[in-house]
Amino acid sequence: MRNVFDQYNHPENRLTHGLMSSLAADPALLRRFIQWATGERAPTGQLRVLEQTLPGEEESTDEEDAERKGLPDGWIHDGATWSLVIESKIQAPLDPDQLQRHRRTAEGRGFTDLHILALVAEQPHHACVKSVTLKKWTELYTWLLMERRSEWARHFVAYMEVLEARLIRDEYLREGMLTVFAGIQFGKDNPYNYFAAKRVLRLAMDELRQRNDLKQKLGMDPDLKGRPAITGRDSTRIWDFLRLEPSKGAANFTEFPHLTLSIQQEQLFVIVTVPHGIRGEFRKNLLVGGRQGFCSIFEAILNNFSDSLGSVEGIAPWIEIIQRRYPSQRAEPIIDARLQFDLRTGFKESDRWRTNVKEQPQWLGAAYDALSKKNSNLQLGVGAIFRYEKCPAVHTPEIVDYIAAAWLACKPLIQAMIV
């Protein structure tokens, strides 16, 4: 069913229409928006909300005609001397001359107490016009999240998320975003959706690239690119990765371990990936201590998990080994074997992290045997899973902290390989 806000062809106009419609429908939200946008209280008396229309004129029914005339995207006024003019941009650059024309138009109509707000996806490279308030759509989204008491704020927040997913799908939104990461909302009442997952993955990875703890403690390099294109719309998972600084200059990123984040149908999967094609010396370093040395690395990882994430409900420290083959270069792999297990099965339960997981160290031993006698395309993943139905934190912005903590807990694995 078509969304109530989808009344225009151009994304900028759809977004502005959604905002202005929500403000017009909720006068209390409108007044709080004015204070957010201008830093001042809204004027007393009745306020009028217009879009692509000048005060005193009939609303334009022709989207293209309104574009040609260069009308402001939104206009809020009190019918006297106060007004707030809104110009919105997503992909198109902000035009200082256009903003000046809006100012002259408003002043020519007697609005002496004038405010101009420019809403943009990305900070412009040039200086903005003096006396123009510049805010990003992400700032508006964050403010609206705090206005959840308003039904119309909730409607518009949901629409921003849907529209952003469409724009990413259509490759319209290549730089900047409309929303910010607010957790992963998939679950029983909100099933996994590829385009929504792609949007959330992009937001989460943007935040994770900025984390100093990952840079300083693991050597994550935010400037090294992850996946060149996020694909797999028919799959039940979507993933991307962060690279480590030592991999800079490598012919292939699979020569080095990397930090993988996968949003899946039922869970969030956070691992350090040790690819099949990893350099021989790294594999040798991981196995040089024999079975006992190998197990001691994973005991240190488990202790780190206990310290940083042991109190988080619904998390499981996890190991996965996959044997696969590819029918062709671009084909989906055929999985010949997969060993997955909770890392806590490898060691006796301690007071550090009491659970109902039973000790079964043979699983960790099987992982060692498979890696030490490798005779196939074999990939190791070490990290954690966060199940949507069991981990409430996955639905909050704080999950980014837990993702980083899961990678940091695996530092002994990275150190063992990259000496």
Asked whether residue 134 falls in the same domain as residue 213, the answer is no
* C-alpha span between 44 and 25 (Å, rounded): 18
Same domain, yes or no, for 163 and 301? Answer: no
393, 300: one domain = yes
Query: How far is 254 from 256, CA to CA, in rounded Å?
Result: 5
Parent domain of 112:
11-169
Q: Tell me the pLDDT tens digit for each residue of 317-374.
A: 999 999 998 888 777 789 999 999 999 999 987 666 777 899 999 999 999 999 999 9
pLDDT at position 3: 58
The pTM for the full model equals: 0.84
- Is there a single domain that holds both residue 116 and residue 15? yes
Backbone angles phi, psi at 50, to 5 degrees: -125, 155
**Has residue 313 got a pLDDT over 60?**
yes
What count of other Cβ atoms lies within 10 Å of the Cβ of residue 188?
A: 8
- Higher per-residue pLDDT: 64 or 410: 410
Co-location of 99 and 236 in the same domain: no
Residue 331: predicted pLDDT: 74
Average pLDDT of the chain, as a whole number = 90
pLDDT of residue 228: 79
pLDDT tens per residue, range 43-71: 998 999 998 888 877 665 555 555 555 68
In a domain, 2, yes or no: no
Residue 186: C-alpha distances to residues 205, 261, 391, 404 (Å): 17, 15, 11, 20
Confidence of residue 2 (pLDDT cuts 50, 70, 90): very low
DSSP string, 241-269: EE-BGGGTT-S-GGGS-EEEEEEESSEEE
Render pLDDT for 78-103 as a digit per residue (tens, 0 to 9): 999 999 999 999 988 888 888 999 99
Residues 263 and 366 in one domain: yes
Token pair 């594999």: residue: 283
Q: Is residue 232 part of a domain?
A: yes
What pLDDT was estimated at residue 168?
Answer: 85
Q: How confident is the model at residue 1 (pLDDT cuts 50, 70, 90)?
A: very low
pLDDT at position 25 over 60: yes
Please indicate, yes or no, if residue 174 is contained in any of the structural domains: no
Task: Count how many domains the chain has.
Answer: 2
Is residue 134 in a domain? yes
Please, how many CA atoms are within 13 Å of residue 172, restricted to the half-sphere of its CB? 16
- In the predicted structure, residue 285 carries a pLDDT above the cut 80: yes
> Are both 52 and 147 inside the same structural domain?
yes
Q: What local confidence, expressed as pLDDT, does residue 70 receive?
A: 64
Least confident among 130-139, 285-294, 387-396, 398-407? 130-139
Quick one: 77 and 19 in the same domain? yes
Residues 53 and 106 in one domain: yes
Together in a domain, 159 and 200 = no
Which element (helix H / strand E) includes 84? Answer: strand 82-88
Quote the CA–CA distance of 4 and 399 in Å, as a whole number. Answer: 32
Looking at the structure, tell me whether residues 289 and 323 fall in a common domain: yes
